């Protein structure tokens, strides 16, 4: 396993490592807490957006999938002259 020791006060010799190895090593050694917190914040924002869009008020037109799937060709096409 590749392990790059990281000290913020000394420069890091990155000649032998790829960018992906450096980023991955940082995320799995020192950057785990910001990574987890940002994923938690994004999860809460996603849940909030879903809850805000689910309103059950009167007068809102909703998609009726069963009616769309059960219609026939003759009721779907109108002839306009």
| Residue at 76 is within a domain | no
Are 22 and 15 a contacting pair, CB within 8 Å?
no
Count of domains observed in the chain? 1
Q: At 74, phi and psi to the nearest 5? A: -70, -30
Residue 4: which domain range?
A: 1-55
pLDDT for 52 beyond 80? yes
pLDDT score of 9 = 63
> Is 60 within the bounds of a domain?
no
Residue-wise pLDDT tens digits, 58-75: 777 778 888 888 888 777
**Average of per-residue pLDDT values in the chain:** 79
Query: Could you tell me the end-to-end alpha-carbon distance of the chain, in angstroms, rounded to an integer?
Result: 73
pLDDT at 5 over 70: no
């Amino acid at each position: 396993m590749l392990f790059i020791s990281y000290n913020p006060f000394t420069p890091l010799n990155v000649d032998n490592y790829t960018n992906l190895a450096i980023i991955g090593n940082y995320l799995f050694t020192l950057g785990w807490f910001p990574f987890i917190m940002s994923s938690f914040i994004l999860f809460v924002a996603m849940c909030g957006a879903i809850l805000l869009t689910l309103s059950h008020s009167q007068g809102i037109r909703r998609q009726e999938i069963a009616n769309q799937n059960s219609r026939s060709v003759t009721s779907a096409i109108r002839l306009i002259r």
